[in-house]
Amino acid sequence: MRKKALITGITGQDGSYLAELLVSLQYDVHGMVRRVAAEDQRQRLSRIADHVQGGSVTLHQGSLESYPSICRVVQDIRPDEVYHLAAQSFVAASFEDEFSTMNTNINGVHFVLDACRRYAPEARVYFAGSSEMFGKAERVPQDEETPLHPRSPYGISKVAGFHLARYYRERNDPPLFVSTGILFNHESQRRGMEFVTRKITHGAARIAHGKADRLELGNPDARRDWGYAPDYVRAMWLMLQQERPDDFVVATGETRTVREFAEAAFESAGLNPGKHIVWNNPADLRPAEVDLLVGNPAKAYRVLDWRPAYGFRQMVNIMVRSDWYLVAKEK
Ligand code: NDP
Ligand code: GDR
């Protein structure tokens, strides 16, 4: 019998890569999507369109804001594995609209966990935690024992989700198999344009094609641990194949500044960053910054036998090349 997996957030970067991985592993893959009044639905579903058209992924209408709608989807599918990835995932937006971020991100986890407890108690559940939970990190590098000190409404919402996941794992009527992945930043050619890496690679591609001359960015000094998204969705799957639920940091263990990322990307595009980048653009600065994130993935290495296949330079080159072709095709 094929295993059934339900992915919330299947239209996003991670959801699309995870769907591909699970299809390749012969899962029956289901995704929950919300209705949006977009003019072009193909564009919105573009990351998964081929799989939906080819019949290897089935979509179900559901809203993270509605407990009954999540219950209905879980009841209809009765999944063996649930990957709860859907969230308001852009940290900067969480400062502008704290209340929606909290609502979607905290209630969303709560509803998914409770729906699973009631209608699919045997299901194994993955919750997408984040390195943003460490925030103003008290230790470097950060691991599963590092105290949490979130610095944004987004980070706070993920801490709440993390505690909810642990609570559902530990309560006894019945206990749920739920694991939290504390994933550090992971990027790809499918990353949303508003995140700094994609903004940089797409900006560099536009400049290389003569369609722009400058790129405005915010803080150049923030340090992040950047990995490649297809590597990271493999870690999600591995977490649900273990005997027991647990929490895992997934990271590369390397840290670089935003400036270093930009220099690598511009170099890869054959450009001089000093000529084109304007730093500290007020609109791109945050009211509270997370200065240094770098993860210690030792537990994921040891228990999951997980290793990233792609290095930093390789990832930057893939993203720049992909955006170069994308811009070349733009009218
Ligand atoms: P994306 O922003 O690419 O995708 C987010 C997904 O959530 C989309 O499918 C989106 O659907 C869905 N979503 C957002 N709001 C709602 C809502 N109100 N109701 C239903 N669905 C909603 O994120 P990623 O793929 O990068 O990240 C996946 C998860 O992992 C997120 O929870 C994120 O917070 C977390 N994470 C990501 C990291 C990263 O570096 N990428 C690192 C650590 C954690 P729609 O298409 O309808 O907008
Ligand atoms: P982050 O990612 O907040 O780490 O959250 P983002 O790429 O938005 O920012 C990374 C760092 O770059 C600095 N920065 C800029 N950021 C953006 N977006 N735009 C700019 O112009 C810019 N200039 C500098 C930011 O200040 C920040 O320090 C991501 C998301 O995927 C979360 O969902 C996830 O949980 C965390 O990674 C781990």
Q: State how far the Cα of 227 lies from the Cα of 13, in Å rounded to an integer.
A: 13
207-232: pLDDT as tens digits:
999 999 999 999 999 999 999 999 99
**Using an 8 Å Cβ cutoff, are 109 and 153 in contact?**
no
Q: Catalytic site residue 194?
A: no
Average pLDDT over residues 232-259: 98
Indicate the residue type of 268. S
Sequence-separated (6 or more) residues with CB below 8 Å from residue 140: 292, 294
57: confidence class by pLDDT, cuts 50, 70, 90: very high
Our answer on whether the CB atom of 128 is closer than 6 Å to any ligand 1 atom is yes
Closest residue by Cα to residue 278 from 167, 199, 211:
199
20, 81, 132, 187: the catalytic one is: 132
Q: Catalytic site residue 130?
A: yes
Residue 205 pLDDT > 90: yes
Q: State how far the Cα of 263 lies from the Cα of 265, in Å rounded to an integer.
A: 5
What residues flank ligand 2, with Cβ below 6 Å?
89, 91-92, 130-132, 184-185, 194-197, 199, 217-219, 222, 224, 258, 284, 286, 289-290
166: confidence class by pLDDT, cuts 50, 70, 90: very high
37: confidence class by pLDDT, cuts 50, 70, 90: confident
pTM value is: 0.98
For residue 43, the model assigns a pLDDT of 77
Protein residue whose Cα sits closest to atom 19 of ligand 2: 196
154, 168, 228, 232: the catalytic one is: 154
Residue 304 pLDDT > 90: yes
Q: Report helix, strand or coil for 83.
A: strand
**Using an 8 Å Cβ cutoff, are 138 and 149 in contact?**
yes
316: confidence class by pLDDT, cuts 50, 70, 90: very high
Average pLDDT value over all residues in the chain:
96
E strand segments, the chain:
4-8, 28-33, 57-61, 81-84, 124-130, 177-183, 186-187, 215-216, 223-224, 227-228, 247-250, 256-257, 277-278
**What Å distances lie between residue 174 and 117, 180, 210, 257, CA to CA?**
7, 18, 60, 45
Task: Give the ligand 1 atom nearest the CA of 154.
Answer: 34
1-14: pLDDT as tens digits:
899 999 999 999 99
321: confidence class by pLDDT, cuts 50, 70, 90: very high
Q: Which two tokens stand for residue 205?
A: 């591609």
Half-sphere exposure of 262 (CA within 13 A, CB side): 26
117-150: pLDDT as tens digits:
999 999 999 999 999 999 999 899 999 999 999 9
Task: Give the ligand 2 atom nearest the CA of 152.
Answer: 3
For residue 197, the model assigns a pLDDT of 98
